[in-house]
Amino acid sequence: MIALKTQTPSYWQESFSISEDDLAYLRQYIIDHGSPVPLQDLVLNLIKARCQDEINAIRHELSRGPLYQPKDSYQVGQTLIFPALQFAVGTVVGTRPGYDPSHGHFEVIQVRFEHSGEQREFASKLTTPHALNRPDGENGLAFLQEAVSAEEIAKKFGNVVAQRLLEVLQRPDSGFIQYQGQWLVKEMLPEIHIGHLNLAEAIIDVAGQPMTPRQILAELGLPKEIPLPIQEFALNAHLSQDERFDDVGWDGTVLWFLRRLEPDIIVNPPARLHLLQEPYDRQSILPELVAVAKDIDFEPDQLAARGLESMVYKAHIVLTYPHWRSGTLPLSPQLAAMLPKGSYQHSRMEFIDGKLGETIVGWVHHEMGFIAGLERWYQDNQIVPGAFIRLERLKKPGVLLVDFEQRRMRREWVRVATIEDGRIVFSMQKLPIACQYDEDMAVSHADARVLDEFVEQIVAERRPLARLLREIMPELVKLNPSGAVHAKTIYSAVNLFRRTPAGPVFALLSTDPHYVYVGNGMWTYDPTRSRG
């Protein structure tokens, strides 16, 4: 049996490339479809077309002459098809007698092949059985192995096809245009010029809130004979290329807003919200620290992964300093699972105040992993770093209830950081606290502006976490008569100066000999120790 070329891995991985015929086929496919087409559909249909083209080519070759079979006789000048040679076409250019003890007397034909010009000899008038002889009436396609479907080919090689197709479709002269993975032919689009874009800006500005493409189109006056899905696609494609506009919807939902109307913290996140990305060995971390991380680590890169259902309905967060200072929450896997799926840079959402029922507009920064919008809420409710924040998913997608546990105001001892001549210094001070909080996580500052400037300096110079931890630990252990400090406090203190997940911090505690575990989650610092 013979395998079609399009059924082999080498065809798709090595030989396959995008031709002008492919582009013409896809162009017509999109036009006939009449609406935007996702890339995976283009890939599947291209694979189907290539497979069918190969079958059609074989059928065309088969129509040019009889199949070569060793039992038949042939004349000089006769055209033959050779299924066993990928349906090569050849012409008989000579004959001679042949003999073999196993087959007896037969005739040898000399054949010159059309494409290569090569000349080869084959047996004919063979009276003994041969595998190339076919039953009478069977056509050449019977030589082919049973073909797998285009869908199966797409599962195996679709990524290769998609990558090569994208390289061509994204060329400026390709004649194709895409938005969010959907493709159209440019000639299908209505004209959208700068006047339309300026009007769209004014429409959103007057509304003062994100708008759907259809809401904007209702006032743009594009030709009505153009189907609405194509109008939407054209508008989205043009707005996405204009820096004034930002899609703040969730995956599958487009909402256009103006960047100049977005909170500054979303457009220009401060240095304190830049999440530290340092590699570390998870396997090196002590099991005791992994257990601690489950209670305090709510950053996107969690050390202690939690088994999440497809949708989470409730979550709690212990608030660290950079989020308290910025009015944000970390976009932990738990929090992300409570919201619609989002992959774009910004998305608009809402909080509902659990005490007052008021609506608070929030903004998700997917790339940097935080949700903004709670600065006033923190201030009004006297929330402190280390506070327990409770979140609950409500029925409406993209809406979360946010709450905390109130308590009577009391002055409590809290670790307070100051910057003295460029050096980190910690002291214990009594501060008013009116919410339930984790005592080990409670840290604060003496001067927020000074600390902000210090953090900007640390981020700008890319100060290594190992150095930062060496600066912090001596200051923390001096505050406790036992000379030890809890791992949660270390983590929270590090976050005063650099937003970081627990993993890199706990990896240093576990591997650097200067940090000594003394039990019950407590650590001390010994600068005299070295690696054994």
What would the pLDDT profile of 292-317 be if each residue is shown by its tens digit?
988 888 888 766 555 555 668 899 99
Same domain, 505 and 384: no
Q: What is the pLDDT of residues 242-295, one digit of tens each?
A: 999 999 998 888 999 999 999 999 999 999 999 998 899 989 999 999 999 888
pLDDT bucket at 64, cuts 50 / 70 / 90:
confident
Sequence-distant (≥ 6) Cβ neighbours of residue 453 within 8 angstroms: none
Same domain, 249 and 372: no
Which tokens in the block code for residue 384? 């402190």
pLDDT of residue 363: 97
pLDDT bucket at 345, cuts 50 / 70 / 90:
confident
Above 70 in pLDDT, residue 159?
A: yes
Same domain, 372 and 471: no
pLDDT of residue 305: 55
pLDDT of residue 155: 93
Task: For residues 464 and 240, give the distance between their C-alpha atoms in angstroms, rounded to a whole number.
Answer: 37
Segment 108-130 mean pLDDT: 93
Tell me the sheet residues that pair with 106: 98
Task: For residues 332 and 79, give the distance between their C-alpha atoms in angstroms, rounded to a whole number.
Answer: 71
Q: What is the pLDDT of residues 370-421, one digit of tens each?
A: 999 999 999 999 999 999 999 999 999 999 999 999 999 999 999 999 999 9
Q: Note whether 216 and 203 are within 8 A (CB).
A: yes
Same domain, 45 and 126: no
Same domain, 53 and 162: yes
Segment 159-163 mean pLDDT: 95
CATH number at residue 444: 1.10.10
Sequence-distant (≥ 6) Cβ neighbours of residue 437 within 8 angstroms: 384, 386, 387, 388
- Residue closest to 375 by CA, chosen among 270, 507, 478: 270
Q: Domain range for residue 401?
A: 295-407
* 249 inside domain: yes
Same domain, 151 and 44: yes
Residue, of 48 and 136, whose pLDDT is higher:
48
Q: What is the pLDDT of residues 205-232, one digit of tens each?
A: 999 999 999 999 999 989 989 999 999 9
pLDDT of residue 4: 78
Q: Which of 407, 440, 463 is the last residue of a domain?
A: 407
pLDDT of residue 136: 64
Q: Note whether 500 and 299 are within 8 A (CB).
A: yes
Which tokens in the block code for residue 479? 């505050």
- Residue closest to 394 by CA, chosen among 318, 312, 309, 300: 312
Task: For residues 255 and 210, give the distance between their C-alpha atoms in angstroms, rounded to a whole number.
Answer: 5
